Structure 1
Amino acid sequence: MTLSPAVTDVPGLLARWATERPDAEALRFGEVRRTWAQLDERVRRLATALRAGGIGRGDRIAVLDLNHPSCLELTLACARIGAANAVVNFRSAPPEIVYVVNDAGAKLLYVGPEFAAAAAGLADRTPTVQRIVTADEYEGWLAAHEPEADAAPVDPEGCFVQLYTSGTTGFPKGVMLTHRAMLAHSDNVAHSFEVDPTAVVQVAMPLFHVGGTSYALLAIAHGARMVMLRTPDPAAVVRQMADERITHTFLVPALLAAITRVPGVAELDLSAMRTMSYGASPMPLPVMRACLPLFPGRMHQVYGMTEACGVVSALGPADHEDPAVAHRLVSAGTPIHGCEIEVRDPATGAPVPTDAPGEIWVRSAQLMAGYWQLPEATEAAITEDGWLRTGDGGHLDADGYVYVTDRIKDMIVSGGENVYPAEIERVLAEYPGIADVAVIGVPDERWGEVPRAVVVAPEGIDEAAVLAHCRAELAAFKCPTGIDVVDELPRNPTGKILKKELRAPFWAGRERRTV
């Protein structure tokens, strides 16, 4: 199914379904039920509330919460008034939350019940925030405003959701996702994965991640029923698949591994599933073998990035189950509908031959508008002719399958979360006694890989104290799992740390890759 040519913005989607299917269920969250007409009315009330609070075109708000319909409703309301929702990674440490809220210049901060006390403590460090709305206040705030009848035209190129991705400078970058890009992604994914109004889409991944927000927008774009979970508890996820007759979902391999161990999972009726998508980190082959009987003919490995609104390539069921092409299981598949993928020389930008290594480049209508207030980083990432330089290394084979073999940007992918060593290195460099530092990814059976620090500390260190320092400044998944002290770090003649040498002992006999 494709979108109506007349629908060029997100508010147009709600208007369409509220008119065509007003009483059909649009969203389910626990005991909460919303029809398309109800969802549209709530979003129009929120649009009025945001305008009354002085929020308008080009402004940002922020949401700090576990998954909840309020975050999605606020994103849709921002889309209606030309503002944007900067969804905060709720796993972040307080300094990281402060950075994101201040970087976005958020005028309003919505906080869930688990974060209300923390947000109050951050109030004096987030000067742009004019109002904090708590979960307890939300329904009253919404009900106090009349639904907006008409809205000014929306710019399809306007950003309405801003998701943060870790940066090589040590600070996260705000990825500006537009109406046109998100709708293109929804169209391309629906074309490849058969999403239509009969679908039941599970949103289990966090909304601060494209695997959450983009998947939710996919359901809205095509009039599908959405079922959202507050947290991705393995037992709850798989039982919801059976109870709600879920047809489409996206999960990370660590969650799928846990699902295969849920007692009685093999007896659940999961036959409604059409597309079980997984990605964001490597899938161990034993986990894949355990998943195939649960979702026969339904497994789709996907490769993507925030800068492209989500998925750009996929490996379908046939390639998962045909022993004649078993080598493709370590690939990221082929480009989805509407996406082009090439491998270029990272130094010259010239295409490389088949099977030759290089940097993966992507071109599609679903690319970001750029990085928020970082024009130089945007220019470095997107070429004049519209190619996104992903920073991932890999190659294309003769059949057009893309293999992602390493990360040119030196990124660590841990349990589906992107971790940049520069962020951790910045925190460690501030610790007394550490003279030099490098952070690398090392293999981990559960998370694929995890960060580990290598430091130069002439007087030695108290490892427990250093790790406690990291936990106070960084989200738990970013904290090193261990620290090695060395006399000096290996460097090339220009002074660049040779992280490949540091990683080599840990990855000996293993294949390091991203999927």
Structure 2
Amino acid sequence: MLSSDSNILRSSIPVVIPTERTVGEYVWHKLNSFDDNNVCLIDAYTGQQLTVGQLKHQSLSIGRALVAKGVTKSDKIAFYGHNSIQHSVLRFAAYFLGLPFCPLSPTFGAYEVGHEYRSTGATIIMTTNDDLPKFKDVIDNTDNNTVNVVKLVVIFDGQHKDYLTYDQLLIDDGANDGQSLLAARVPYFDVDPDNDPFIYIHTSGSTGSPKCVKLKHQSILILMHERGHFLDPDIVSSPGALKKHCIAFPYPFGHISGSAILPLQLCMGYPLVIYSQFDEHLLFKSVETYRITFLGTFPSFGRRLVDPDVFSRYDMSSLQIVNTGGAAFPGNVARDIIDKYNVIFREGYGMTEYLFITAGRNIADEFKSGNCGPVSPGTECKVADLATGQPLGPNSDGELCVRGLKLFAGYVNNDRAFGEAFDSDGWYRTGDIGHYDPSGNIYITDRLKEIIRVADGNLYVNVSPVEIEQFLLTHPSIAEAAVVGVNNRSGTQWPRAYVKLNSGQTTVVSDIDIKKFVADTLAYTKQLKGGVQFVDNIKRINIGKVDRKFYRNMV
């Protein structure tokens, strides 16, 4: 709804103030309200299932074993690896202990893993056998690093001769002692919910290098108490709607989406279907097998839902809700999905710094492409004029600015960036361009941000051009570099680098050499598939920043 004071958007839904003080306490209470025999997690790839009772027992047992291994309140856990039931249980062990954790994107190479592990101050590594080599530099240098000493390494899957494994932690707990030790005290360590972070996670680096965001327990708790948002399957209230839902969970645990949505949706009491190895046909088949009612999707993946081959090959008649977020969804595709599957289609809007800015459209309203719905409870939003900063009225594009209860707590070791992210009245500047209609529904129309949107299987990955530029400058032959996104046929982008070589350069350096330099170290999403072009100078704006608009216009 639109507030009466100066074009400020506020929700008409009251905020539910949680009685719990920590995420671990909330999750524990929720799980105890469910039948222990109910299945809560299903891995569509392996067929493995986990009941509520098993989740509680295993996460508490692992928590006890970690304490016995010397884990303390001062530790932070870095998670890296694909979605799996073991990964999920380890996350819940962190909730119940009250330890902050640091998800690392599954797209990262060794360079990014080392940088982000150190910047978060993590002390515990939890990863897979296949991904462990990406931590080699971190582990090898631990003796020379008094800030990030690697205290413990835990392997999700299989066995390892040097490090603890998931199965060993369960054995080390002993006979059910974990229940008695932790169950009466969740979280195990003292947590100050108003100050202690629940999660440390890096941004995409939209206007500079990626920054490490701190999200407090209070922000997550407010999110988990919201109902009717676009990730809530209980919004379905039609007479023919199923009363029992099953939720497809394609969100990677290494992203903010997976990290925040995992406890949120599991605490709704419905089984989540996860994908330890993602394949679109596996997802379609899982809808048929498990009678999934609620499906999260992405623009690039959503197109496949209306493919005649998919529609005729799989029985997905159980679907009731399809939701999307993270990027604009083509309106014609959304309408085709609605028509083919007779579902509710909802779009949402949020970001790492502020989870769920909007609640998704009211399902009683007619579908309109781009409608992300009204602002969520406890959130204020304004659309600021790009020249004056003044709040604009309906149907006028400007920069979306927000403030409210779910706002992030800061950037780790970067107070300057935190201060610069707000205007003089305390509004967080999202960097997104949009407007709202007379009913207060928000539409995103453009981006001020400079991120490159790269397709990664079933989702988009935000890639920082500055991060790639900084890495290119470590090449001995490169003096300056500018990186922008180049549009491709899939509707996403590939990074392209404009490179100025050192003056007096005698060694012959080709575009292939530079592509290989990046590919050997950075994540595959940051490889220069858009090409490398050599230039005499790098054009900059008057404050010294790369004039990225100039290079985008050259594409």
TM-score, structure 1 normalization? 0.86
Q: Match for 2:549 among 500, 503, 512?
A: 500
1:3-36 deviations in Å (ceiling 9; x for gaps): 8943443223223322442222222223322222
| Higher RCO (CA < 8 A, seq sep 6+) | 2
Give the drift of 1:418.
1.1
- 8 A Cα contact 1:342 1:396, kept in partner: no
> Is 2:401 the partner of 1:361?
yes
Could you tell me which residue of structure 2 aligns to residue 11 of structure 1?
24
Query: Which segment drifts farther, 259-268 or 171-180?
Result: 259-268
Distance change in 2, residues 1:11/1:228 (3 Å)? same
Q: Match for 1:388 among 425, 428, 450?
A: 428
Could you tell me which residue of structure 1 aligns to residue 450 of structure 2?
410
- 8 A Cα contact 1:313 1:332, kept in partner: yes
Give the drift of 1:92.
0.6
Could you tell me which residue of structure 1 aligns to residue 84 of structure 2?
68
Give the drift of 1:298.
2.2
- 8 A Cα contact 2:382 2:391, kept in partner: yes
- Output the CA distance in 2 between the equivalents of 1:229 and 1:206: 9
Distance change in 2, residues 1:370/1:494 (3 Å)? closer
The count of corresponding residues between Structure 1 and Structure 2 is 500
Q: Match for 2:183 among 149, 165, 178?
A: 149
Give the drift of 1:462.
0.7
Give the drift of 1:420.
1.5
- 8 A Cα contact 1:270 1:294, kept in partner: no
- 8 A Cα contact 2:50 2:85, kept in partner: no
Give the drift of 1:207.
0.5
> Is 2:59 the partner of 1:22?
no
1:413-454 deviations in Å (ceiling 9; x for gaps): 223211111101111222243333211122223252222222
- 8 A Cα contact 1:56 1:82, kept in partner: no
Give the drift of 1:259.
4.7
Q: Match for 1:176 among 203, 214, 221?
A: 214
Could you tell me which residue of structure 2 aligns to residue 80 of structure 1?
96
- Output the CA distance in 2 between the equivalents of 1:501 and 1:276: 38
* 1:82-231 superposed matches below 5 A: 82-120=98-136, 122-126=138-142, 127=145, 128-134=149-155, 135-136=157-158, 137-145=165-173, 146-147=177-178, 148-151=182-185, 152=188, 154-157=191-194, 158-167=196-205, 171-188=209-226, 190-196=228-234, 198-231=244-277
Structure 2 unaligned regions, length at least 5: 1-12, 159-164, 235-242
3-state DSSP of counterpart to 2:251: coil
Residue identity opposite 1:11 in structure 2 = G
Q: Match for 2:533 among 439, 460, 484?
A: 484
Query: Which segment drifts farther, 452-461 or 300-309?
Result: 452-461
- Output the CA distance in 2 between the equivalents of 1:405 and 1:425: 27
- Output the CA distance in 1 between the equivalents of 2:231 and 2:377: 10
Query: Which segment drifts farther, 236-245 or 428-437?
Result: 428-437
Q: Match for 1:429 among 450, 464, 473?
A: 473
RMSD over equivalenced CA pairs, Å: 3.1
3-state DSSP of counterpart to 1:242: helix
Give the drift of 1:64.
1.4
Greater helix fraction, Structure 1 or Structure 2? 1
3-state DSSP of counterpart to 1:406: strand
Distance change in 2, residues 1:413/1:295 (3 Å)? farther
- Output the CA distance in 2 between the equivalents of 1:180 and 1:16: 17
3-state DSSP of counterpart to 1:114: coil
Could you tell me which residue of structure 1 aligns to residue 237 of structure 2?
none
Could you tell me which residue of structure 1 aligns to residue 512 of structure 2?
464
Q: Match for 2:489 among 440, 445, 449?
A: 445
- 8 A Cα contact 1:205 1:232, kept in partner: no
Could you tell me which residue of structure 2 aligns to residue 47 of structure 1?
63
3-state DSSP of counterpart to 2:468: helix
Percent identical residues: 27
- Output the CA distance in 2 between the equivalents of 1:54 and 1:346: 52
3-state DSSP of counterpart to 1:109: strand
Structure 1 unaligned regions, length at least 5: 322-327, 507-515
- 8 A Cα contact 1:166 1:172, kept in partner: yes
Could you tell me which residue of structure 2 aligns to residue 400 of structure 1?
440
Greater strand fraction, Structure 1 or Structure 2? 1
3-state DSSP of counterpart to 1:172: coil
Query: Which segment drifts farther, 351-360 or 416-425?
Result: 351-360
Distance change in 2, residues 1:319/1:447 (3 Å)? farther
3-state DSSP of counterpart to 1:57: coil
3-state DSSP of counterpart to 1:83: coil
- 8 A Cα contact 2:209 2:464, kept in partner: no
Give the drift of 1:236.
0.8
- Output the CA distance in 2 between the equivalents of 1:505 and 1:287: 31
Give the drift of 1:204.
1.2
Query: Which segment drifts farther, 300-309 or 284-293?
Result: 284-293
- 8 A Cα contact 2:109 2:134, kept in partner: no
- Output the CA distance in 2 between the equivalents of 1:387 and 1:435: 38
